[in-house]
Amino acid sequence: MVAGLAGLGLGAVGVYYLSRSRPKAEEKAVDSVAADLPQHPGVKQSDNRASFCQLLSDYRMRLKQQQDLLADAEAKMRQIERQAEEVCRVYAQDPTFKYNCNGWPVCSWNEWYTVSGTTTNQQANSACLTHLKTGSGLSLRIHELKPGGAWDDTWEDVKRINAQIADAYQQIQSLRVQYARAQDQANAARAAIADLERRISDLEAQGVFC
């Protein structure tokens, strides 16, 4: 009888300690899972799964916003580049001179030059486009008026070309400011996208799928 009571007593004690130990073990397991979850602004390790799901949803929404901003910035950059192609061709103009003679066979008695058109200076054109994209230095181009009576008929045309070049030079400076602004927007969006993608992957790697 005494032995039976002793057995029951030990059994009760065992059940008591078992009942006390299980919640601690479960609590440690929960703490371990929580400790594995990444640290993210706005939530604590102790928050429930719904908090992480809400955060994941917010990350995805912000990711879409940044992707849209990047697309807008890149589209703006392409638009500016197309504008700059025409502006840079004007900036890179070189006058083409034509020789005229009205005293054949002795042309030196009556000879002169005229501007028959323009050609594109490829080096100047390339420098102009590089300036747009990188902000590298760009100088104003001016074609000198050739002295002497034989060149009189070229002066007005050369002045006109110089005026066009000066106007194109100012335009490319304005386009450069716009392009740099779009570049900054694109770079900021790319950095934000990389960060958000890392955060999303971080949560998903911990089993947070919502």
What are 31-76's pLDDT values in tens digits?
Answer: 333 334 445 555 555 555 667 788 888 889 999 999 999 999 999 9
Helices (H) then strands (E): counts for the chain: 4, 2
**Backbone torsions φ then ψ of 105, nearest 5 degrees:** -90, 0
* Location of structure tokens 């230095």: 137
Answer whether residue 17 shows pLDDT above 70: no
Distances (CA, A) of 138 to 45, 76, 167, 171: 55, 22, 14, 12
Closest CA to 96 of 174, 163, 161: 161
Whole-number Å distance between alpha carbons of 20 and 17: 5
Q: What is the mean pLDDT of residues 129-135?
A: 97
Burial class of residue 77, CB neighbours in 10 A (0-12, 13-18, 19+): buried
User: What is the token pair recorded at 93?
Assistant: 């103009």
